[in-house]
Structure 1
């Protein structure tokens, strides 16, 4: 089905963390059976410049990648990256960094399928409800929606369409490690959503 699958992301993608024993991309790898899989997940990373920016790390995407998932944005909210506004070109704001990330990925890999995944609605055990700018996760979600639409990149919003969330305690206990990071079952549910979305 795919030759080379690449997963770009933060701690939800980083398989060196201990929040789960099987990540969403492990399930996708089993179901898709690509010839090769590359994981470019780094815990704590942001899209914007502040923390191991994905705008820089996207340069590590191999030339033969034919499908890329970008699972990102929650750290830009939680680690207080400036939101900016539509039309920004600077990697110092979330809007501008998304612009640069998409430009770089699409220019360097014109035949690569790109899918953006934004995280489920989180609870407050790991990040507060509002960041230091007084902004909500939803504000960053809206930026993702607008920028992916502007670039024609398919966007799976788990915030809006996961069918579960981490802000209701019973659901957080079932699907998350700490109301931010998915546990084993959470990763499986997320993998199912990604698989169904891409296949549709």
Structure 2
């Protein structure tokens, strides 16, 4: 049952896989969670996404009164890394009110750029870009996306005044360094930032 129009990818193996494939899957889950929670509008998660509840790929489980649709609460312990990341991203969204304003961004509210600092490639081949949300002068947010299969070095626009960019999120890093609570970021960025393949990063400015 369900639809065959799926936009998913198993990275070479269906179901349980080797650790190297599992790490890619986990990174992509974090990428999707982070993208959702920095987006405009009301973020909507399917219950269990924060536990990595896959339902074995079934996309129409309403008629499945069995292990496919049941909640297995053991997943909370097994997938604590995903659960923690989802919770921290929700907290990040709440902390930065600019992400949940009702009005959409205008041209003056957001600056788009390519990894080399130029204009982004909006074509099919463009897999990497960045942007700075300028809607609130007190809390600029820099977002870096690399959906390519190779790492990219991003030329990050300079922070205003004497302030520095602080890396709050980097989905390429292992937990607990993948996301940091406000004020506990260990990495600062002055000019460039190397972002591995299939990952995103979020940089913030501390208030003066």
TM-score by length of 1: 0.28
Q: Which has the higher contact order (CA 8 A, sep 6+)?
A: 1
TM-score by length of 2: 0.27
Larger radius of gyration: 2
Give the strand-richer structure, 1 or 2: 2
